[in-house]
Structure 1
Amino acid sequence: MSFSNKVVIITGAGSGIGAATAISFAKEGANVVIVGRNEQKLEKVKEKCAKSGNGLLVVRADISNEQDAKKIINETIDKFNKLDVLVNNAGIVGQSSILSDNVLSSYDTIMNTNLRAVVHITNLAAPHLIKTKGNIINISSVAGKMTAIAGDVALTYAVSKAALDHFTRFVAAELASHGVRVNSISPGPVSTGLLDNAVASLSMSLEDMERAVPLGRVSEPEEIADLILFLASDKAKAITGSDYVSDNGLLLK
């Protein structure tokens, strides 16, 4: 899958799925815009992407900040004059329960990043994607499709991902006539910092998590990156409004 001369924005690219995706796109010839909050992590990802010799742009930004979101799009267009792919990967988790005193603050914080920010940056990016007949990949989660991990860990996170799934479908329907495809990917457990935090909050070990999954494993970030690249490529030119689950069978339980 060649992405030669394509311009790709990846949010949350400082680590985990985002970092793996940035590196994979760079290897396939893309000009990559690496977005995140931690400048040191972004620089490490940039070094790995730079080995491919393509155009790179690092944007230190918090996507939940409206001015930062505008900066991401403006700097991308200023440098590369176009946008072909938007990967909305940035997201946060947090503990919440409907019985918790902090449920509203948790809801506001998580929805602001996991949904509102995605709506905003998609709105800003869409006119540029229409010009290139590009596409959008939103990184959702199996958490938005199940209740087994609800309660004091994932209530508002799960709600944010369920909402993101439907947002994906609506935007896919609206932009289809413009030749822009919009899809989502719903990973199960992936070996990232987010998983480490989730496992700790559940008082579980990684081995416990692996035993809870039918295939007895958790995914590596590169596996999700492979799926992102497929959906962004011409190999998936007939696919829009779809959600691809990659969860090692977790939803089977």
Structure 2
Amino acid sequence: MSINLNGYHVLITGGSSGMGYEMAKTLLSHGATVIIAALNKAKLEKAYATLNSKENDVYIVQMDVTDEQSIMKVASWYREKFTHLDLLINNAGVGGNIKGLETYRHTGHFYDIPTSAFKLIFDTNVLGYFLVTKAFSPLMVEQGKGQIIYTSTSTETMTRTGMIPYGPSKSAAEAMTTVLSQELQDKGIMVNVICPGGFTRTNLATPDMIEFFKKNNMPILEPTILNKPILFLASKDAQKITGEKFIGNKFDRYLEKHQINFED
């Protein structure tokens, strides 16, 4: 069954590269209107140049998920330009690749983490998720339906040695997702989490991390790993699913377990 998303509107943060870009690309290929929001203007323009075509209805907008004024400005622009929002994908995030964590990566001592780096990760991965959802969910409440997605990581990563503050930031955001799924369900809004299920080749993966995985013959997932789960969540099959976590490399098992016949 081919998924037809004509008339379906998606806003995705951090959609200019990595898994966000791949999700935007696959949603566009099925007819959705996709608005990509990201901080880096050059990456946004590069993504637009690649994705823009007669067949694709794609827009780009610069937004800082740690800045409420920036988010509200985009939310106002969105309301002026579009009448509805079907899917909000909170995908923007930062991890161990940010400046300031170099010493921690080498020593493994949490007390070597600069407070500024810890704060940036929580501001982006937790506060940013809250602020974007706060700005755009009222439109979904008004229309009486919608789907909110948060891109997270594996449960093991949240508590694994050496994963402060990235792991705890994802854990906090997932807890918030669980609460929101309960608070928004009676308003017709579904809230779910997606994650790749393992180490993935994205901008968050540092060269030394990639080298470590290769050297130890450990699997490296590609950023397309979330394409099938996000299409499923955008489809009619998932209209009533909320409070779930979908794992990319285990997604086919999920479909089989629940006897769902879904083809992307």
What is the TM-score with the length of structure 1 in the denominator?
0.85
| Equivalent residue number for residue 111 of structure 1 | 122
Which amino acid in 1 is paired with 2:133? T
RMSD: 2.2
- Matched residue SS, 2:191: strand
Structure 2: 5+ residue runs without aligned partners? 252-264
Trace 1:1-253 onto structure 2 (pairs within 5 A): 1-51=3-53, 53-94=55-96, 95=101, 99-130=110-141, 131-142=143-154, 145-148=157-160, 150-151=161-162, 154-187=163-196, 188-195=198-205, 197=206, 200=208, 202=209, 204-208=211-215, 211-212=217-218, 217-247=219-249
Question: Any conservation in 2 of the 1:165–1:243 contact (CA below 8 Å)?
Answer: no
Cα offset, 1:71, TM superposition: 2.1
**What's the CA shift for 1:123?**
0.9
Q: Which residue type is aligned with residue 167 of structure 1?
A: M
Task: Give CA deviations for 1:123-171 in whole Å, capped at 9, x if unaligned.
Answer: 11111112151101100001665533x22xx211000001111111110
Give deviations 1:4-36, integer Å, cap 9, x for gaps: 111110100111011111111111111111111
Q: Secondary structure at the match of 2:165?
A: helix
Q: CA deviation at 1:100?
A: 2.0
Residue 254 of structure 2 is matched in structure 1 by none
Inter-partner Cα distance in structure 1 for 2:42 and 2:228: 25
C-alpha distance in 2 between matches for 1:99 and 1:222: 32
Distance 2:75 2:40 in 1: 18
Letter in 1 for 2:119: D
The answer as to whether partners of 2:225 and 2:249 remain within 8 angstroms in 1 is no
Seen in structure 2, the aligned counterparts of structure 1 residues 109 and 143 have a Cα distance that, compared at 3 Å, is farther
CA distance in 1, matches of 2:33, 2:110: 46
**Number of matched residues?**
238
Unaligned stretches of 5+ in structure 1? none
Report if aligned partners of 1:133, 1:178 keep a CA contact under 8 Å in 2.
yes
- Does the 8 Å contact 1:183/1:241 carry over to 2? yes
What is the deviation of 1:52? Answer: 5.3
Moved over 4 A (4+): 143-146
**Structure 2 CA distance, aligned partners of 1:22 and 1:246?**
16
Q: Secondary structure in 2 aligned to 1:4?
A: coil
Q: Is the 8 A contact 1:29 1:52 kept in 2?
A: no
Partner AA of 1:189 in structure 2: F
TM-score normalised per structure 2: 0.82
C-alpha deviation, 1:247, in angstroms: 5.0
Q: Which amino acid aligns with 1:158?
A: G
- Equivalents in 1 of 2:144, 2:93: separation in Å? 26
Summarize the Cα distance change of 1:173–1:248 in structure 2 as closer, same or farther, 3 Å threshold.
closer
TM-fit CA distance, 1:113: 0.3
Paired residue secondary structure (1:205): helix
Q: Identical aligned pairs, as a percentage? A: 32
Q: Indicate the larger mover: 221-230 or 28-37.
A: 221-230
Structure 1 Cα separation of the partners of residues 130 and 76 of structure 2: 17
d(CA) in 1 for partners of 2:250 and 2:204?
Answer: 17
Distance 2:144 2:48 in 1: 25
Verify the 8 A CA contact 2:110 2:164 in the aligned structure 1: no
